[in-house]
Structure 1
Amino acid sequence: MQRPGAVIIGSMDAYIGGARRFPLLTREEEFRLASRYRDDNDLDAARQLILSHLRLVISVARGYLGYGLPHADLIQEGNIGLMKAVQRFDPTRGVRLVSFAVHLIRAEIHEYVLKNWRMLKLATTKAQRKLFFNLRSMKTSGQGLGSTRAAEIAQILDVTPAEVTEMDTRLSGHDVALDGDNDDDEAFAPITYLADYSGEPLHVLDARARARLQNEDLENALARLDPRSRRIVEARWLMDEKPATLHDLGEEFGVSAERIRQVEVKAIQRMRSSLVPLAATR
């Protein structure tokens, strides 16, 4: 027979079986051990409190197996919550350790599930966490939620129907490998369209060279215009602030807005004819 307090090793079934062999504590035993730990920092008393509640952690962790995470990891995180509960437990409050510990056990498991269920975090706000851990059990089928059912769930959980629909969509998705699983998938893998090469030195230098040449070409095309045409093009198209209107320029040059429009059209045509040959040589 296994000695109480011995280290449990081996398979998951062996761990669960060993945890169930630790006896449950009576209220008086629990009070005595908790008092010894709180008043005298008796670590052996804390150990007995933890071992007697390992089956509680196993039971709580079993409720989170639907997220596809290892049962052993869920139990491990729950054990951390149990140890925190024993550390903070006050036996004079008249509450049993099991009632106090279950909240901290669930809190630790919740954090583990949220951090590890998906590579991308799905629930960061309080409302999203509530949805994450309740929506699965409240759905009546594996299909998407209809607007009526989404509204019902939103009312029960005190969130908006839009938040319910968004979380349902997130939960229905799947992680996708960044690289293709095989050669046939590489052309459609996210890495092919998510990669950003704009910051590479060669691309940066090339972009700067193109911008410099474009500015030089534009300046050369503007230099071939007469002063009035250049003024109109710059005022209409190259101003950082609000561009001038045809009427504004008409008043400036003492002509009609229509005449300004005609000059503008001809000036742009001349610039295009100047820029096309330059672009062909680049």
Structure 2
Amino acid sequence: MSYPIAASGFDGFLSQVRTIQPLSAEREFELAVKFKETDDREAAHELVVSHLPVVVKVAFQYRFYQFPVQDLVQEGTIGLMKALKRFDPYKGYRLVSFAIWWIKAYIKNYILKSWNLVKLGTTQAQRKLFYRVGDIGEHASQESKDKRVKDLAEQLKVKEDDVIEMEARVRAREWSLNELMGEDKELEAIEFLQDPSPDQEEQIMQKETEQALPVVTEKAMEKLDPRERFIIEQRFLEESPWTLQKLGDHFGTTRERVRQLEQRALRKLRRELESSGAQALLPA
């Protein structure tokens, strides 16, 4: 399986990627085992190439941030290769379920590092808003847009003004979907957008991710002692999270001591989740 060659520019690359067929579970397992046990470069190459359609699909999800999509694809491919190095085929889940976190992480990291606005993404709330502001989308009426802004603000627990401001800052460098692409400038960018409806591969990917995440998360939580686990559950897994003060009162200690225990528990979880490529589950 050859890596697509963009002989006619990025549009040619995309055309070749569209022809790539996903591997069967048996073939993927065979290649992954071969790479894990013998570090076979050809096996790794075939695994990476077969997952390029997934990288391209994820990259286009972040096109709102107006970076060249080919740069996002490149970063996502690096994330895919990093995931492959850590992938354990004996765990029982598919590579796409494991790699999706790495692909997104590398694309997000590239966007945030490359963004040239002052003080963008300096807090957890800002980073969440930055990556979700594209959800506002286009609307036929101001009333419809206002409702979406309100819903997003409630979901992220920020002010509506913060959502409006972030969207304005992002749109300040908006890239038109009617921009001509390719060496001959004959095709519009919008022609490369994929059908937003879930295809079979996406449905499988979502299902496998949903099945794998509880296992990965529970395994990571088992590394915590009872007190650390209780703190993490109450702070991050409950609909009404406990405050540090409430936890301090519960354990008969200080707020600062609880904060230290929380940070220690998060470090343990981060180490465990990083080994499985699911560190995106942790708070920033």
CA gap 1:150/1:55 in 2 versus in 1, 3 angstroms: closer
1:248-259 correspondence to structure 2 within 5 Å: none
The Cα offsets for residues 185-222 of structure 1, whole Å up to 9 and x where unpaired, read as xxxxxxxxxxxxxxxxxxxxxxxxxxxxxxxxxxxxxx
CA gap 1:36/1:121 in 2 versus in 1, 3 angstroms: farther
1:50-199 correspondence to structure 2 within 5 Å: 50-138=48-136, 141=139, 152-159=151-158, 163-164=162-163, 166-168=165-167, 170-171=169-170, 173=172
Among 1, 6, 20, the alignment partner of 1:9 is 6
Amino acid at match of 2:108: H
* d(CA) in 1 for partners of 2:121, 2:70: 23
1:18-29 correspondence to structure 2 within 5 Å: 18-29=16-27
* d(CA) in 1 for partners of 2:127, 2:143: 19
Structure 1 residues without counterparts, runs of 5 or longer = 176-282
How far residue 85 of structure 1 moved from its aligned partner, in angstroms, is: 1.4
How many residues are treated as equivalent by the alignment?
172
How far residue 74 of structure 1 moved from its aligned partner, in angstroms, is: 1.2
The equivalent residue for 2:45 is: 47
How far residue 134 of structure 1 moved from its aligned partner, in angstroms, is: 1.0
The Cα offsets for residues 46-98 of structure 1, whole Å up to 9 and x where unpaired, read as 11100100111111111222222112111111111111111111112221111
* Secondary structure, aligned partner of 2:21: coil
CA gap 1:48/1:149 in 2 versus in 1, 3 angstroms: closer
* d(CA) in 2 for partners of 1:120, 1:144: 30
Structure 2 residues without counterparts, runs of 5 or longer = 175-284
Say which one has the larger Rg. Answer: 1
CA contact (8 A) 2:35 2:43 kept: yes
TM-score relative to the length of structure 2: 0.52
CA gap 1:15/1:149 in 2 versus in 1, 3 angstroms: closer
* d(CA) in 2 for partners of 1:161, 1:15: 40
CA gap 1:121/1:39 in 2 versus in 1, 3 angstroms: farther
Q: Percent identity?
A: 41
Aligned CA RMSD, in angstroms, stands at: 3.1
* d(CA) in 1 for partners of 2:20, 2:145: 48
CA contact (8 A) 1:80 1:105 kept: yes
CA gap 1:149/1:56 in 2 versus in 1, 3 angstroms: closer
* Secondary structure, aligned partner of 1:135: helix
* Secondary structure, aligned partner of 1:122: coil
